[in-house]
A = this chain, B = another copy of it.
Amino acid sequence: MNGTIAVLGCGLIGQSWSALFTAYGYDVVGWDPAPKSQSLLQEAISRCQKQVFRPSELESGLGSFRLVETPEQAVSDAFWVQENAPEVLELKGELYGRVEAAAHPDTVLASSTSSLTWSQLATSLKRTSRFITAHPFNPPHIMPLVEIYGADADLRTTAVSFFRGLGREPVLLARDVVGHIANRLASALWREAVNLVAENIADVAAVDAALVHGPGLRWSVVGAHMAYHLGGGPGGIEHYLRHLGPSQERRWATLGQPQLTPDVCTRLVAGVHAEADGRSISELEGERDRALLRLLAARSSI
């Protein structure tokens, strides 16, 4: 096996993956169904890399990026295929048939899917033992999390090593589920965040500020389960569950079940724009990414 990775789908996720892969010395062969410009893609990839890596880190050993015309050309020489096609089962299924026909039998096919499951996608494949879902948290060249599931234990181990080698934090699921772990947690939290706005308990900016300066900050350091272990005092999670478990169950019963009605959507939109306070999406993204990179640097030096 050589060091070539195929990136299928060169939108924002594919560009971000390509930035990471080439920064770590892999050669990337990209394919996209839409006409794309190799030089514009190369520029986007370089911009991603400059966010994360110092110039000295990029001077030597940078892999190449080459755009090709067909998925077959992209995968023919690759040991790893990272698929970032639209979240349409039939579309991915057709692509997988072409990948399987053109790739080496040992080549790993990894899907970045956020909303489909391994079981759904695997029905399109003959060699399911070389197929995994590897869902990044956007943008993947900045965010460490990659959620992994595959039926083959050896491949799961291979995938964990591969992503660790890219400076990521791979997390294994024991079985596949829609939304993996992170988006299910995010969805559960957002439901209550919407409820607090829908019920006039707090406005959008207040809910976001409470999260950023409270539990969000804490969860960037310790997970939710561990937080309750520490919240239990010297008795830890056992003490917490025994003494405060019943009050958690009572609180769960009071959590909201909002719907995204036109009225609720109108208030969410107005609230988010008030919070953005004139900053454009790209300004907000720039602020977010700079802040994330500072926090990641601080975290890695702990």
Residues of A within 8 A of B (CB): 115, 137-138, 143-145, 147, 169, 171-175, 177-193, 196-197, 199-234, 236-238, 241, 245-249, 251-252, 254-255, 257, 259-260, 265, 268-269, 271-273, 275-276, 281, 284-285, 287-288, 290-292, 294-299, 301-302
Contact = CB atoms under 8 A, between A and B. Distances in A.
Given A214-B145, A219-B219, A234 B178 contact: no
Nearest to A241: B265
A9 to B, nearest CB: 15
13 contacts: A143-B214, A171-B206, A175-B201, A177-B199, A184-B192, A184-B251, A187-B248, A205-B223, A216-B219, A226-B275, A230-B284, A252-B257, A291-B302
A187 B211 CA distance: 12
Number of this chain's copies in the complex:
2
A202 B241 contact: no
B241 A260 contact: yes
B202 A192 contact: no
Nearest to A168: B213
Given A229-B276, A237-B269, A294-B299, A224 B190 contact: yes
Contacts of A202: 171-174, 181
- Tell me whether chain A's interface is mostly helix, strand or loop, or mixed: helix
A184 B196 contact: yes
Nearest to A242: B265
Given A226-B272, A237-B273, 17 more contacts: A144-B213, A173-B202, A181-B206, A182-B215, A190-B224, A197-B225, A215-B219, A218-B288, A220-B220, A221-B295, A225-B268, A230-B284, A236-B272, A236-B281, A245-B260, A248-B260, A290-B302
